[in-house]
C-alpha cells in the first residue's frame, strides 16, 4: 500500500510507542462477543506480522491495545483471551524471530493465565509489549549450511 520496506531502523508511518492508557476504558455492556473475537484475532495477527516485518513499534502497540481490551471493566473470558496472546508469543519467536530475554516472562504469564486468581496489571502488559518489540528487533535467525 505504501511501497518500500519498513525493516529495522526505519519508522512505519503509523508507528507509536506503547503507552498504557491513563484509565482503562469501560467495556460496553452490549458488546457482541463475535466482534471482540474478531478484533482479538486481528490484533494477534498484527503482532506476528509486525514482528515478521521487523516493525517493533507496531508490534508493541498492538500488544498494548490487545491487553488493554482484556483489562476493561466487565471484560469477559479475560484469562482465556490474555492466554491466547501469551501462548502465541513463543510461536512468533520460533517462526519469525529468535529467543529474547522477555520471552520467558511471556511463557510464565501464559502458565499463570490459567489460574482464576491471576493478577495482571499495566506493568505486566508493558513487559509483554517489550517482548513483542524485542522479537521484531531481533528478526528471523537464518541458518547457513557449512557446505
In b/e form, how buried is each residue of 48-78, taking b as 16+ CB within 10 angstroms? bebbbbbbbbbbbbbbbbbbbbbbbeebeeb
Mean pLDDT of 53-64: 93
In this model, does residue 113 exceed pLDDT 50?
yes
Contact 60, 77 (CB under 8 A): no
pLDDT tens column, 88-108: 999 999 999 988 989 999 998
**The predicted structure's pLDDT at residue 140:** 77
Distance, in Å, from the CA atom of 39 to the CA atom of 125, rounded to the nearest integer, reads 18
pTM for the whole thing? 0.72
Mean pLDDT of 45-51: 94
Amino acid at each position: 500500500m505504501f511501497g518500500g520496506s519498513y525493516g529495522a531502523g526505519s519508522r512505519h508511518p503509523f508507528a507509536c510507542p506503547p503507552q498504557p492508557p491513563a484509565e482503562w476504558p469501560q467495556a460496553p455492556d452490549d458488546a457482541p462477543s463475535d466482534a471482540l473475537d474478531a478484533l482479538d484475532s486481528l490484533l494477534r495477527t498484527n503482532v506476528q506480522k509486525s514482528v515478521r516485518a521487523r516493525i517493533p513499534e507496531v508490534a508493541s502497540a498492538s500488544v498494548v491495545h490487545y491487553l488493554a481490551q482484556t483489562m476493561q471493566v466487565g471484560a469477559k473470558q479475560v484469562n482465556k483471551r490474555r492466554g491466547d496472546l501469551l501462548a502465541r508469543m513463543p510461536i512468533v519467536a520460533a517462526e519469525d524471530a529468535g529467543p529474547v530475554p522477555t520471552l520467558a516472562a511471556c511463557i510464565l504469564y501464559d502458565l499463570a493465565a490459567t489460574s482464576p486468581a491471576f493478577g495482571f496489571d499495566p506493568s505486566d502488559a508493558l513487559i509483554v509489549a517489550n517482548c513483542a518489540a524485542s522479537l521484531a528487533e531481533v528478526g528471523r535467525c537464518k541458518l547457513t549450511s557449512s557446505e
